Amino acid sequence: MFENLTNKLQAVFQRLGKRGILRESDVDEVLREIRLALLEADVHYKVVKDFIARVRERAIGAEVTKSLSPAQQVIKIVHQELVNVLGEAGRLELKGPVPYVIMLVGLQGAGKTTMAAKLARHLKQGGHLPLMVAGDIYRPAAITQLEVLGRQLELPVYSAGQQTPPPQICADGVREARRRGCDVVILDTAGRLQIDQEMMAELEAVKRAVQPVETLLVADAMTGQEAVNVAVGFHQRVGLTGLILCKVDGDARGGAAISMRAVTGVPIKFLGTGEKTDALEIFHPDRLATRILGMGDVLTLIERAEATFDQEQAERMERKLREASFDLEDFLEQLQQVRKMGPLSQLLDLMPGMGRLAQDISPEVTDRQFKRIEAMVLSMTPEERRNLRIFDASRKKRIARGSGTTVQELNTLLKQFQQMQRMMKQLGKQKKGMRGLMRMFG
């Protein structure tokens, strides 16, 4: 989402790094470029003005002029001020009597129904038992969509058709949660194409009926600056307690994420990073600021890996790597696990210094490459996966034909895998080789 902004900021910082001493005129020149980059990224002009003023005040002060590396110090100041603008880390305030009611609001098309399921899955993983309430009686198939998502997640959904008023549906849903012993209720409310009096009056009625502990606005990052205006409108009428920015994996300028908290004073709690129910990240301002500056986000990458990889499986794989007994059967298992973590371009974007490479990789292309490799390995017999020495011309032709690939592609895969095996064997011979490798990735 921050691709253009990241590129512009990195270009500014690269030029800055070539200057040994920073004069006030140098700082002003750099800040002009940062200001333009932020405005082009759809950051609210008032937020930009305040941000630049704070950075300038610190950048021309003693903390930069007395620094051994003035350029790095300016980057550090920009990072710290970005964190300040983005606010505190997101967390749900689940306090008071059970069940805790979370009310999702937003315009039609923002992704509220899918977000209800993502949030339910997140809470279930945290040890809660959520119940989702289908409170959108206006959008065709909204009730059905939530019920399908509920079955996929094996979580209860309360609905009452399209004839019952939404405030009544939501109140009945809370009673149903108590009856079932659910400790959290997630309300999927109706949206419109734009804010109107009728929608706001209905949301106010729902809020009076259920007294939610959290009223979260689901905002579409793709709408840019308009998302900020939407957030202000909802906050004035229904009193938001938090924001969820979705579709941040799309082609958006990213300014809404920087502006929304500053303009509304309401914290961002989650980021929606894809269409699947597991594509939800807890909002961490420091990590997002690091990502905006093109420094990657290793902590989020580690969390994704921990959520995807089974601990016992990971220990078994580490043992095989250490003993250099890693075969194509293990490789297939790891490949399938990595695919669960998300598109390769997204994973590269989280690695420091790999953002530019990620921009050159199409998610469709990498997914297709993964599938071709997977097809080749699946077309092998268990014995072939374990022992590369038995491959001959007829076996290779059979595997290529069965996987819809070519013998040349298969030869490339086998050659690269053999190189990887040799490297692992060498690391295994070194006393601290494997530990060093593990530390590099930890």
CA distance 275 to 1: 15
Q: Where residue 59 falls among pLDDT bands split at 50, 70, 90?
A: confident
pTM: 0.67
Residue-wise pLDDT tens digits, 362-394: 555 566 777 888 899 999 998 998 888 899 999
**Domains delineated in the chain:** 3-86 (1.20.120.140), 100-292 (3.40.50.300), 302-441 (1.10.260.30)
DSSP secondary structure string, 307-375?
A: HHS-HHHHHHHHHHHHHT---HHHHHHHHHHHHHT--HHHHHHTSTT-HHHHHT--HHHHHHHHHHHHH
Longest dimension (CA), the chain: 74
Strands 130-135 and 157-158: parallel
Residue-wise pLDDT tens digits, 258-312: 788 888 889 999 988 888 898 898 988 887 777 777 655 445 555 566 566 666 6
Give the pLDDT score at 44. 84
CA distance 286 to 290: 6
